[in-house]
Amino acid sequence: VWDTLLPAATGFRHSFSCHPDAAATCLAYVPGRDMLISGGSKGKLHAFDLTSMTASGVVEHAHTRVDSLAYDARTDVLASGGLDGDIKLWSPDSKLVLLHRFAHVCESRSISRHPGNPGLFSHKAITRVYFQGGNLYACTAEGSVIYFGRREIATDAQPQQQKASAK
């Protein structure tokens, strides 16, 4: 973590040790909680509290490989997409609780070269997730864009016991 208002020689503030046997492939900042979420090439998610500069949570098998993270302040949801073709919605607190899984969103059988990892070929990867206006957009390895409306996100992002009582 660097303080960009200071000169480069003195701007370094802290480094986090995560993904020791792999690469960090994506980051998302959660401003309300002052957290940084890191996704890695071995499928792990790491949460870091920037106030105390400590690691606050790890999810071991979030995806086969985490390729994209996005946070939506409107719904207070973190979305992750990866090589397995799933999109997962998380509660962006220190424990990273899984709220919902959109399974096998990308089912195409075409083979695409993944831009983030030369030499790795995939037939069903989510390469990017993005929130805009409470809606979730996902880009897939075969070039399509998938849209999830804000109502769908809000319903699916509720904890399981709230979903049951809402029906």
Rounded Cα–Cα distance for residues 73 and 162 (Å): 20
Between 88 and 106, the higher pLDDT residue: 88
Q: Chain-wide mean pLDDT for the chain?
A: 77
Residue entry with tokens 């040790």: 17
Residue type at position 93: D
Q: Are 68 and 81 in contact (CB under 8 A)?
A: yes
**Predicted model pTM:** 0.76
Note the pLDDT of residue 14.
Answer: 62
Q: Are 77 and 69 in contact (CB under 8 A)?
A: no
Between 124 and 101, the higher pLDDT residue: 101
Q: Are 30 and 37 in contact (CB under 8 A)?
A: yes
Domain boundaries, the chain: 24-166
Note the pLDDT of residue 165.
Answer: 41
CATH topology of domain 24-166: Methylamine Dehydrogenase; Chain H (2.130.10)
pLDDT in tens, 38-67: 888 888 898 888 888 777 777 777 677 888
Nearest to 78 by CA among 118, 27, 40, 125: 27
Rounded Cα–Cα distance for residues 76 and 73 (Å): 5
Note the pLDDT of residue 84.
Answer: 85
Task: State mean pLDDT over 91-120.
Answer: 69
